[in-house]
Amino acid sequence: MLALAWRNLWRQRRRSLTSLGAVAFVVCLSLLYYSIGGAAVNSMYRNLTHSTGQVQVHVEGYRDLRDFSAALIRDAARAESTAQSAAGEGLVIGVLDVPGLLIHGDRSRALALSGRQWPDALRASYLRQNPLEGTFVRPGDTGSVVLGRSLATALDVHIGDEVVMYAPGTEGFGAGSFTVTGLVDVLDPNLASRTALVSLAAAQELAAPDAVSRLEVHFPDVNRVQEDVVSADTAERLRRALPGLSVESWRELSPMLVRVLDSIRPVMALVTVIFFILAGLLVVNSIYLGMIERIREFGVLMSLGASGRRVMGLITLESMLLCSAGAVLGAAAGLPLVGLLARGFTIPGLEQYYASFGMDPVFYASIHPSEVAFAILFALGTGVLAALWPASLASRLEPVEAMRFTA
């Protein structure tokens, strides 16, 4: 049956090749589509978690607090040590955001000065996306600041200039002078005019000794949503270790982004189904025309004892072979292209558009094995569905009438 089905496909070589090519094209396109969608999902995930961490610790009800002191986590060193023990391999860092006024000469800007620890992995990740001119924040340095280039332009500041941070209503000195040691080209234009980075020690000296606004837990090696199997467990361990504090994973911190990410896969699956429906119509056409041309042969087979079910199986097998060959060729063409795009690619003309959403304009294609399996299995399913109607017609033929049929 297999040999007969294969020979039957190539009686009309051009028609079969057209159908096979359509299936191969759809499988290849589906793999590319999934990989680019995966790149977008992982880019949004990576940009969010690299800047905010996979898990954050705050005081209870921090979203509703307006008083600076009420939102502080006291005895930050002890809280950080406890969190690090619970976080396992995650990097726990303290962050202190100080609201105030940054002044240079007769110019000023209201912003939140960001004091944080910068482990090597996080510093390298940040500088890959945000090119730096000059020197970055040094641990323990209380006299230097790194500004976003847009903010520096607004204040007419250059490397080596002095700026003053005025932070009324805080618990430290409340004011401090800093030397600009670096200018950073911030990827997100919404943050470029508000970026001012200092060490955690400098922010604490200015506003809140031995306190932080929040603790962040980072897993620098986790760059894809599918790899993130640690956030929920880490958040649960931190809740037990730090009673009285609010612990949230990135999904709880950014529910709107989570809804966007969760909607991307179903939309891609729907578009893929439409692709396969179009390819399936070509397969139906090919199988139906082949069935019409061989009605007399089917009549002979049935007159020799072949059952309608056996004829139906033969036509279904032909469709399955056609779609299987197309799926193999499509995967053979698509997977190397995905591997090439996984090295990084940009969409010409849209770099600034993606940057405006805080996304890295360089995407890295990513596809999950289940998505490859889905595309191939859908191709096989298309073969079965495409054969149902022609095969059903053939199985109901009357042998005598079929042998008299002339196409």
Task: Report yes or no on 209 lying in a domain.
Answer: yes
The encoded tokens of residue 270 equal 């729907």
Question: Are 275 and 383 contained in the same domain?
Answer: yes
Task: Report yes or no on 379 lying in a domain.
Answer: yes
Share above pLDDT 70 across residues of the chain, in percent, rounded to a whole number: 93
Name the DSSP class of 362.
S
Closest to 313 measured CA to CA, from 383, 379, 378, 375: 383
Task: Report yes or no on 234 lying in a domain.
Answer: no
Indicate if the alpha-carbon torsion angle 284, 285, 289, 290 is positive or negative. negative
CB atoms within 10 A of CB 21: 15
Is the pLDDT at 350 greater than 60? The verdict is yes
- Give me the residue label for tokens 């000469």: 105
Question: Are 197 and 82 contained in the same domain?
Answer: yes
Question: Are 89 and 191 contained in the same domain?
Answer: yes
Least confident range of 47-56, 111-120, 273-282: 273-282
Task: Report yes or no on 371 lying in a domain.
Answer: yes
pLDDT tens per residue, range 126-174: 888 788 999 999 988 999 999 999 999 999 999 999 999 999 989 999 9
Distance (Å, whole) CA 174 – CA 176? 7
Domain boundary among 205, 221, 237: 221
Is the pLDDT at 405 greater than 60? The verdict is no
CA-based radius of gyration for the chain: 31
- What mean pLDDT comes out for the span 348-368? 71
Question: Are 32 and 134 contained in the same domain?
Answer: no
Distance (Å, whole) CA 248 – CA 381? 42
Is the pLDDT at 352 greater than 70? The verdict is no
- What mean pLDDT comes out for the span 322-349? 86
Task: Report yes or no on 231 lying in a domain.
Answer: no
* Cβ–Cβ under 8 Å, residues 28 and 333: yes
pLDDT band at 359 (very low <50, low <70, confident <90, very high): low
Domain boundary among 175, 195, 221: 221
Task: Report yes or no on 237 lying in a domain.
Answer: no
Higher pLDDT, 257 or 77: 77
Report the pLDDT value the prediction gives residue 356, as an integer from 0 to 100.
61
Residues counted in the chain: 407
What is the DSSP code string of 92-161?
A: EEEEEEEEEEEEETTEEEEEEEEEE---HHHHHHHHHHS-EEE----TT--SEEEEEHHHHHHHT--TT-
| Domain range enclosing 163 | 55-221
Question: Are 281 and 381 contained in the same domain?
Answer: yes
Report the pLDDT value the prediction gives residue 403, as an integer from 0 to 100.
66
Higher pLDDT, 399 or 48: 48
- What mean pLDDT comes out for the span 234-255? 92
* Cβ–Cβ under 8 Å, residues 247 and 235: yes
Into how many domains does the chain fold?
A: 2
Domain boundary among 194, 221, 248: 221
Report the pLDDT value the prediction gives residue 85, as an integer from 0 to 100.
93
- What mean pLDDT comes out for the span 372-376? 88
Is the pLDDT at 23 greater than 60? The verdict is yes
Closest to 113 measured CA to CA, from 225, 194, 231, 41: 194
* Cβ–Cβ under 8 Å, residues 203 and 146: no
pLDDT tens per residue, range 298-309: 677 777 777 777
Report the pLDDT value the prediction gives residue 336, as an integer from 0 to 100.
93
Displacement of CA 160 from its chain's centroid (Å): 39
Question: Are 111 and 14 contained in the same domain?
Answer: no
Helix (H, G, I), strand (E, B) or coil at 342: coil
Report the pLDDT value the prediction gives residue 129, as an integer from 0 to 100.
78
Report the pLDDT value the prediction gives residue 242, as an integer from 0 to 100.
93
Distance (Å, whole) CA 31 – CA 391? 30
Report the pLDDT value the prediction gives residue 164, as an integer from 0 to 100.
95
Highest mean pLDDT among 18-22, 319-323, 347-351, 369-373: 369-373
Report the pLDDT value the prediction gives residue 181, as an integer from 0 to 100.
96
**Partner residues linked to 301 by β-bridges:** none
The encoded tokens of residue 250 equal 């990135």
- What mean pLDDT comes out for the span 54-82? 92
Closest to 210 measured CA to CA, from 351, 79, 41: 79
Question: Are 65 and 211 contained in the same domain?
Answer: yes
pLDDT tens per residue, range 100-132: 999 999 999 999 999 999 988 888 888 887 889
- What mean pLDDT comes out for the span 321-334? 89
- Using a 10 angstrom Cβ sphere, with 0-12 exposed, 13-18 middle and 19 or more buried, the burial of residue 297 is middle
Task: Report yes or no on 283 lying in a domain.
Answer: yes
pLDDT tens per residue, range 208-244: 999 999 999 999 888 788 778 889 899 999 999 999 9
At 342, phi and psi to the nearest 5? Answer: -65, -15
Question: Are 63 and 110 contained in the same domain?
Answer: yes
pLDDT band at 246 (very low <50, low <70, confident <90, very high): very high
- What mean pLDDT comes out for the span 288-292? 72
Question: Are 71 and 216 contained in the same domain?
Answer: yes
Name the DSSP class of 52.
H
Task: Report yes or no on 111 lying in a domain.
Answer: yes
Distance (Å, whole) CA 110 – CA 147? 13
Report the pLDDT value the prediction gives residue 351, as an integer from 0 to 100.
64
Question: Are 275 and 300 contained in the same domain?
Answer: yes
Question: Are 369 and 263 contained in the same domain?
Answer: yes
- What mean pLDDT comes out for the span 338-363? 74
- What mean pLDDT comes out for the span 268-273? 83
Higher pLDDT, 348 or 99: 99
Question: Are 197 and 278 contained in the same domain?
Answer: no
Give the Cα-Cα-Cα angle 335, 341, 342 (nearest 5 degrees): 85
